[in-house]
Amino acid sequence: MSSEETNSILSLNSIEVLYDSVLLAIKGVSLEVPNGGMVALLGSNGAGKSTTLKAISGLLKSERGRVSRGEIRFDGKIIGDVPPQDRVHMGICHVIEGRRVFEHLTPDENLEAAAPVSMSRQKINDEKARIYEYFPRLAERKASQSGYLSGGEQQMLAIGRALMTQPRLLMLDEPSLGLAPFLVAEIFGILQKINREQGVSILLVEQNALAALEIVSHGYLIENGRVVMHDTAEALKANSDIQEFYLGGGEGKNFHDIKHYRRRKRWLS
């Protein structure tokens, strides 16, 4: 365990999140992201995936939520009291759900807005060029208004914008949301490439477990605010429960079977 800890860039130790001082949204989530690794956080709607990411990036603050228990370590340091913008400077970047690009700015300006204040002009241009290499579609449309980009392009811009902050850990909240399967494949391919070439660790939150498990090495399954399963991607893909509930596998269900599965799922959490 200890050797794993030193090797992980992010570790959550049984954290709890309270909204408005009353609503317990996640209750004891622990997870590790190895340095340079790719990890997926899977789960259904309202399981607490987005809340987990917001706890890590510090964006909970703006939604009147707070981490009420447990500790979050980034690079071995506890970051509970660090304001969100300083976490970004430390190297955590959160691509929030719903591809919220700066709609009235051009893609080029979107990238510049995200560049750290201390970054030199030369470096900004280099970084932009690098990002346009990953996303050639963005380069084509870099002078048009971002609000009018297509959904896929906006998602690419959101990822590119996050890369501008020089992250060491990139967290993505449902990048596949509302995108056509071929676009999902394209974006996930690029994520894999970024992970390999830049050494950026990636924490991916997904409902599309099938696509996510293809590219990550490990996966966590979260349900009702708790981590209920943790394994390598291969093992998860092979797990029958996962297949039934998240991968849409299992042919020819009948009523009796469904009841059976329900029972097993409850036992899980």
Q: Closest CB to other proteins among 111 and 242?
A: 111
How far is it, in rounded angstroms, from Cα 206 to Cα 74?
Answer: 22
Please state at what angle helix 121-134 crosses helix 181-198, rounded to 10 degrees: 130
Per-residue binding string, other proteins, 194-233, x by CB under 8 A, is ----------------------------------------
Eight-class DSSP state of 64 = T
Among residues 168, 155, 166, 95, which one has the least CA distance to residue 128?
A: 166
93 contributes a contact to other proteins by CB under 8 A: yes
114 contributes a contact to other proteins by CB under 8 A: yes
Q: Closest CB to other proteins among 63 and 140?
A: 63
Tell me which stretch binds other proteins (CB under 8 A): 58-66, 74-82, 206-214, 260-268.
58-66
The residue with tokens 């993505």 is 172
Of 2, 21, 104, 254, the one binding other proteins (CB under 8 A) is 104
* 3-state DSSP assignment of residue 234: helix
Other Cβ atoms within 10 Å of 232 Cβ, number: 13
What residue ranges bind other proteins (CB under 8 A)? 57-59, 62, 84-85, 87-89, 93-96, 100-105, 109-110, 112-117, 145, 147-148, 151, 161-162, 164-165
